[in-house]
Structure 1
Amino acid sequence: MRLLLLIVFNLTCLFSFAQTTILKGKIMDGNDNFSLPGATLKISDGNRFTVSDVNGNFEFLNLPAGTYTLTVDYLGYAHYSETVTVRPGQDAIEVLLSSSSRSIDEVHVMGDLARGQAKALNQQKNNSNISNIISSDQVGRFPDQNIGDALKRVPGITMQNDQGEARNIIIRGLSPELNSVTLNGDRIPSAEGDNRNVQMDLIPSDMISTIEVNKTLTPDMDADAIGGSVNLITRPVPNKQRISATLGGGYSPVREKGIYNGSVIYGNRFMDNKMGLVLSGTLQSNDFGSNNIES
């Protein structure tokens, strides 16, 4: 009798485990197929929540097989709701969001917001710590040639300048040695041998997709920064072919020479979206000078 009960119990456990699966997918813009990070997703039954990652991917773990109502909320986009059927071994789903629009009497207003900044605001809203997130769209609104110039527009951040270039970062008034800089989560060493300062004027702004400024550290971060941590996220692989280029120029009256800036970015997916490629090149030519008058 005990042996029979044990067999029935094991079969019941195996059957129950076999019925749980993972619902995974990707959140994208319905117009240009750009990935949307920081989206809030909810499964109606069981009150399950999750947030899409920096590439727009999401997962609901240990979800019993069945039919659910999936809802997605994203700043600047219309509310999304769809009935999905979850079964073991199913492929990832794609959720396409459309921009929100609103009609006011006889005037039809269609929002065409900076989508990159909408992504940054959604990530900032869903972060568990005090942070500021800047997208490449917001950086592109200003003539910032490097990451240092872009960072000094963030509240609570000051930059130490060297020959007119924003070089060392100061977070909440603390010295640059007390702050850390990471690239896609990996620590960047200093280009100088006698300090921990990371020279922000050496990193072109065209090669960065998102700047995360964490003013308070969480347990998953390295405890080596009293002031805060800056994480630079490089451009992700787009969901379809993308080519963009920028050109700029100016004139330096001190040196009486021209200033030239240019960048080219190419991204695409190959082998049935199994391999992605992003190529980025930046050229900056600026002959610095100063009027040094001493008595």
Structure 2
Amino acid sequence: MPIIVGIDIGGSTTKIAGFNDRSMFSPMLVKANDPLASVYGAFGKFVSVNGLSLDNIERIMVTGVGSSFLKENLFGIPTGKVDEFVATGMGGLHLSKLQKAIIVSMGTGTAFIRADGKSEKHMGGTGVGGGTLLGLSNRMLNIRHFDDIIETSQGGNLANVDLSIGDITRDVLKGLPPETTASNFGKISDLATKADIAYGIINLVFQTIGMMAVFATRIDQIKDVVLTGNLTNVHQCRKIFSQLSQLYDVNFHIPEHAEYATATGAAVSFIEGRQFVEIQKQ
């Protein structure tokens, strides 16, 4: 079967995945100093790793902020461009196998997309995301790299950073267990370790995104939320969103390959015959 390749081109990071008869294979990520170098590097690596020739590939579908720099077909292969919100919505549903959901794209910032298999609607977003995590860690901990933040957070204790409901009242509040966060960084102790602070930053970012997702589900009474993007690989992610799920009766899903949802959606949009823009050599 001819292969369809979906590519999500970021500013310096590109994600790529192949599709053969609607089945994903060989998702991968490549980093470079600029979007064009990144996309050509990602495609070259993809072809080489999978032992493919250009004749094996029927179509390339691109999306993401970096796709605006692409002005011609890649390697002479017919190339189409898909709206990023459409790609994220379609990819989130495809990976989660849901019919309808709020798709949350957690990147540098965060976007919320309502998708139902027929259309995708950008509901809005927040500037809180991976960029927030990196910026706060830089200023508060002098840590500048994502993997180092995650490593530093190991063994962190939120009780040394966050103010909880149990800290401010002895009364039982309906629907709010004592361990529920009342204020992020509202009880930071002089004895808080770097691990405590790193965990507090991660918790702040995920709780903010999670609560906005909860509010988004209330608009159309949708209970399913699909989390996508690189932040889904943070090991505390599942625990924090599981707590929010129990509090607010919302189903948070983190499908396999969630970080490749937008690249997935780009390919699926062609497979399902959705509208896209052809990229032609100028």
Fold shared, TM-score > 0.5 on shorter chain: no
Largest Rg, 1 or 2: 1
TM-score normalized by the length of structure 1: 0.27
TM-score normalized by the length of structure 2: 0.28
Higher relative strand content: 1
